[in-house]
Each structure stands twice: as C-alpha cells, then as structure tokens.
Amino acid sequence: MAGNLSQGQVLYEFESYRLDPVQRVLKRGDEFVPLAPKAFDVLLTLVESAGRPVDKKDLLDRVWPDTFVEEGSLTQSISILRKVLEQGGGGIQYIETISKRGYRFSAPVKVLESVPGDAEFPVSNGSRTDSASEGNGPGAKANWERRLWLTVVAALAVLALAEPYLLKSPKVEIGPIRFVLSPPEGTRIHPASAVSPDGSKVAFVAIDRSGSRALWVRPVASEAMHRLDDTEGALLPFWSPDSEQIGFFADGKIKILPVAGGSARIVCEQRYPGGGTWNRDGVILFSQSGRLYRVSAAGGAPVPVMELDIGRGEMAHTFPQFLPDGRRFLFFTEISGGVGRGARSGTYLASLDSSDRRLLMASRYRAAFAPPDHLLFVQNGSLVAQKVDLKRGLVTGEPAHVANQVTVRLDRFFVNPQPGLAIDGGGAAFSVSDNGVLLYHSGSPPKSQLVWYDRDGTRLGTAGEPREYAQVRLAPDDRHAAVAIKNTEKDDWENWSLWLLDTETNLFSRLTWGDGRDADPVWSPDSSQVVYSAFSKSVRRVDMMAITVGQNSPVVFYRDEHSNKPDAWSPDGRFILCRRDERVVLTLTTGAERRPAILFDRPYVMGGFRFSPDSRHLAYSFDESNVPGHKDTSTGFVMGEIFITSFPDLTAMRRISTSGGCSPQWRRDGQELFYLGQHATVMAVDMPKRPHSEPGTPRKLFQPAMDDSGRAFPGFCMAQYAVTGDGKRFLVLEPVVNASEQQAHIVTPWTSELRMSNGQKPN
C-alpha cells in the first residue's frame, strides 16, 4: 500500500462488500475479490472519503506518491473497480464521476473496528469508543494492558488468516468481467473489431454521421480511448504479435500504424479485403479478392499462398488466422451453393509450408482458434466453443454456449472473388486474445423499409413493415413488385422467400414456399411470370425456377450442375440472361429447348444487366482491371461504371456514368436510363432517340434518406431499388438502424461463460 494511506485497524462495509485495509482484502460475502495493488489503494482512498468528492490530483498523489503517472492509469483503475463491484449486482453505482474534478464513492459506508474473534464494535465518525482516555489518568494502565492484549491476539489472528496464503493460494472463483464497449460520441462501431493478442487493448473502427471511418484504440481496463491519426477509411484491423502495432485496410492498401501514434506505413497494394493476420516472423497473411496472399510486414510484393479450386465450387478464401506456431493457419472457404454434399463451406487448416489444406469444421461462418484448445464459432446465432485437437486436425466433444445474438453480417464488407461477384465471405463479429479476452458484437439482424419516392426526392410513403428485405423488382406493368424477404428472425442464410407487393394497396402476399433461399426475381415481359434462383443447402447447384402469378406450384425453368441465377428477361420474350457460377454470363432461350450460350466469360465483375425496351441494347455495370474504379466512401466498395452495348453482337459499347455507378434501369420508352451513383445517389441520363447519337450528361435526381452511419442501401448495388415504367416513382429499400440494438461486448475470461449442454461448467 502507498506509504501515506490510512492503516487504522478498522473495516469498511458497503452493500455486500467488506474492505480490510490491514489485510488488504476485499470480500463479497465469504468470497475474496482479487484486486491489483493500485486498484485496491484507489478504492480504499475513495471509501475513506465516502460521500465526498476526491480530486484526481489528490488520488494520484496518494496512490502514486513521488511518482509521475498519467491520468490514464487512474482512469484504468477506476474502470477496473467499477467492473468488479458491478459483479455484486443490485444495479448500484458505487463510484461516481464528478465532471472536470474527480470521483466520489456514493454508496453508504459503515465503519467497523477490527477486533479478535471477528467481533465488531461500531465507531462513530472515526472516533474511538473506549471508556478510558489516553494519557496518564486512572484508566491508562488498564487501557495499555488491554491494547497490548488486543495487539498480540490480533497478530495471531492475522497469522491464522494468512496461513492459507502461506501454504497454498486460495482458490477464488468469480464470474467474468463483462461490459459493453461504448462508441465515441456521435459514432457507431463497425462490427469488425479486434482485441490485441495480449488482451490489453481493443482496436475498432468508428463511423461518424457522415459515413467517415477511422481507427480507434481503447485499453480493455480503461474507459480512455483515442483516435489514431492517418487511418481514414480503415476497415478490418488486425494486430502485430507483440500487440504494439495495428494493420488495417484502407484506400486500396494494407497499412501499419504503431499504437503509440505516428504516420501509417504502406505495406502493399490490395483490393477487396477479406481479413488479415500477422505472425512473429513478420509475415502478414491476408485475403484480397477472395484469395490468400502473404507479404512481409516490412513491405514488398504480395505472393499468392494458394489458388481457389474452382472445380470444387470454391468462391473465396477469407479470414486467415495464424496458429501459435506461426506457420499453420486457419481460413474460411466459401463454397458455391452453401454447405452441401461433397465440398463444404467452413474453416480449413493449412500451412505456409504446404499447399495442402483440410476441412476442420463445416460451417456457414468462420471459426477462430482460442488458446489453448478451443474453436470459437457461430451456430444458430450464438457464439459457441468446442475443443479442438490441432495435431490431428479434429474437433472433439460437444459445443458449449458462450454468447447470444452474435452479429454475422459485417456491413460495408465485400469480398469480390475474381472472377465473381460480391459475397460476405463467412464473416462473424468476434475476436479473442491469447489470454482469454473476448470481444464480440451483438444485435438483431438489420432491417429495412420499402419507401416510395418521386423523382424530386419527395418521400411519398412506405409499403409493409420493416423487415429483412433483400431485393425488389417491379413488374413491367408496375402493378406488382417481387421482393425477397427473410422468413425467420434467426440469422439463417437459407430461409428466404419471394413475396408479391401490390403497388396499389401496398399489401404483401407470399409467392414462393420453398424451404431454401429463393432470390433474384426476374419478370416476364407480360408480367405474368417470375423466374428466380432457388438455393438449397443440400445441393451445390442453384436451379432456376418459374412461377405464374396466382398459382402455388413453381416449375423448373432451367437446371444443370451449376449455380444459375437470372438477371434480365428481354422485352421481346426470347432470351433470359443469367449468371453461371458467378463467372459466366449466359443467354438462355425461353423456348422449350432452353439452349444456353455464353455471352461473357471474362475475368472481371459484371452485373446488373437490363435490356433496353426494344431488346437491342444492354445496360450493365462492370469493373475491368484496366478501367479505374471509383471507391464509394459510404461502403468501401470499389464501384464499376455503367456501360451500354448492342445485343446480341456486343458492339458499339459506350460508357454512360462518369464517376462510378451500378444497378441500371431503363424508362419504358427507352429515352432515359437510371442508375445508382456515389453514396447511392439516384442518377438519370437522357438516352439518344437516334442511332449513333451520344447520351446526355448524368444528373443527380435525389439521394434517399441515409441513416446515422452515412450508409444508404446495404449492398446497394444488389437490386435495392426499382423505378416505374414512366420514370416518375421509385421504390427504395432503406435501412432501419437502431444503434442501441448493436453493441460491442468485452468478456474476460471468456471461458467463465462456458455452459455445456447439460448445464454444467467444463473443468
């Protein structure tokens, strides 16, 4: 204890706690509550002055005499005390912050005298209750003898209490320290955060109301947090093995920044990040465009680690994590068609020294290794842990529950396998340190609202209730819209159906009843049929189905052994464009034979195809490697550009957009083209009436309402708006964000949270 702290033989009681300054012990009931020495001194100082403010300077002087320390050390001790005392329950605020001054212990404190035999004599206002006064009066000798006797017995009592500590440390079992990580004022925390390997710090990305992102660091044991300079646009932070530096993705590069501050250093160029990890040999392993690369932390050219196995349906390798030996690593593999027979999505085990890999755990989302012998992963919306034998590459035992409602959708995160389209890459919002500190994000799955706008940006009204909508497509006659809606509140990737929205009444009726995921609706020219993709977790392929409005039973429109998703139906009714395995664009005849022909097979992203009303042209977006992309600052996604080309000969290609765009839509008369530009702004371009004439200049119509993160549409290039044939009304999917439902949690040690299926704690 600091030399100038009180050491009087008294005890302090508050609520269920007892504080003993002599033995330097805090107890809750019969249980010892462990505290670091300085945290104990801070608590004792505050308790001694219970009910009165104590200046920060006085606290620093008393607890750290003759030593210069930063105020953050005091803040850290206060934070630790608050978390520890909260374990006592009751919702009591024990330590109150006095703005710009200090702290006050606000719980009622009872002062007791420490005597042998655990008897307690009240002391009023700190004064003695002895009947004999000190000095040379008549009772002095008796008082002196009594004090001597008390001192001897007290010493024996202290030795008796100390014996268990001298012979064997007592086994103390307390619950985990758990608290919610509050974001900086005016921001929200992106769900892809990272705890340092030593468990002392958390790195997270804060997003302000304008949509700007920056990297922040907070000590786990302190409420003090600070913004790191030179980290604008940061995403997916990862730590150096010594917990002193942070790697992150920003501006198409991997950057490194010391936690202590300074300028960020560029490691290498990258695109479409999918997570990173750093070993003690100075190797950074990261995912870009769905493939794994290695690069020296000192900088250099990235080197591929392994190739995607297209034949097995592999779409992406993401979220690598080095194991303790620094050579082996885990990573997530996305398999086309989800978890099914044969090749399966899940977490794989591999090594820098070999191209071999083996499936460790089949799952929809990534798993992470938690030393010494567990895997953490998300199952049915909960974070669970399971024992793993890394030598044999096997998981053992039964999963044990750790946390509920763990976020698995990392908004603003896109993996763009080349070739292919954006996917989520198996993300799950949790991170664990080497010594048992767990960080995870929780919250209900994000919902959206269907909103009608006119072309001036006036909000006309809403349709339906806020739900998890994915896509919206208006029928050519504008009487109905087909909308993909999730069927359950669970974070179940497969359970989606198509619903019909009556645009006159704004009422919904269910269109498809499959038990998988129905998506990608495309209307027939006469508005009587919808062709869509039907996913099933039991098979790798994706079938194209057709259903007639007003009927209950769909029929197979086209099926082979590939994943086929419809994109557009020509107004003359002759062709459907579809995407095969997220790589090839096919034209499929609508006659009885359904003859497919390759339209595009190129190593870059193409999508959002729309036929012109005369069926002679295609509008689409693409991001070719030799055409500069434009990063949308609200999503971190590198946008392509809008082009038109003649169909079916694909000649006379013209660029329409000027600074990025996606999701083109034609007006019914073909004289105007709409698309989404930067920040999900609805753009319009006048199209020429005569062949070989030039299109007009893109102009902004309106920007839909944006939430407090600056994000307009989640995945806004994926059919998140539709426009009526006359170009006068727009049906938009807007996010409904409740920041209070999205929280970041810290738990230490996370193993204290384990509950086996039989309700018992593991040994």
Per domain, the residue ranges of the chain are 10-129, 177-444+742-753, 447-737
Q: Which of 400, 409, 354 is nearest to 379 (CA)?
A: 400
C-alpha span between 348 and 423 (Å, rounded): 18
In b/e form, how buried is each residue of 514-529, taking b as 16+ CB within 10 angstroms?
Answer: bebbbbbbbbbbeeeb
C-alpha span between 538 and 515 (Å, rounded): 11
313-322 mean pLDDT: 89
Q: Give per-residue pLDDT as tens, 531-580.
A: 999 887 666 678 899 999 988 889 999 988 888 889 999 999 999 999 88
C-alpha span between 227 and 60 (Å, rounded): 25
Mean pLDDT taken over the chain: 80
294-322 mean pLDDT: 90
How long a stretch of residues is the chain?
763
Which class would CATH give 10-129?
mainly alpha
Q: How far apart are the first and last CA of the chain?
A: 35
C-alpha span between 676 and 662 (Å, rounded): 5
Q: Give per-residue pLDDT as tens, 225-239.
A: 899 999 998 999 999
Report the share of the chain in percent with pLDDT over 90: 41
pLDDT at 67: 61
User: What SS3 class is residue 739?
Assistant: helix
190-199, 276-285, 401-410, 413-422: least confidently modelled range: 413-422
Q: Give per-residue pLDDT as tens, 594-645.
A: 889 998 876 556 788 999 999 999 999 886 543 444 444 333 445 678 999 9
Q: Matching CATH topology for 177-444+742-753 and 447-737?
A: yes
298 pLDDT more than 80: yes
Q: Residue 117 — pLDDT band, cuts 50, 70, 90?
A: very low
pLDDT at 13: 92
741 pLDDT more than 70: no
261-265 mean pLDDT: 88
Q: Which of 534, 503, 425 is nearest to 725 (CA)?
A: 503
Q: For the range 689-698, what are the long-range contacts, defined as Cβ-Cβ under 8 Å and sequence gap of 24 or more?
A: 692/652, 695/644, 695/654, 695/656, 697/658, 698/656, 698/657, 698/658, 698/661
pLDDT at 591: 87
Q: Which of 737, 662, 742 is nearest to 706 (CA)?
A: 737
**Sign of the torsion formed by the C-alpha atoms of 550, 556, 558 and 562:** positive
C-alpha span between 374 and 367 (Å, rounded): 10
The CATH fold assigned to 447-737 is: Neuraminidase (2.120.10)
The CATH fold assigned to 177-444+742-753 is: Neuraminidase (2.120.10)
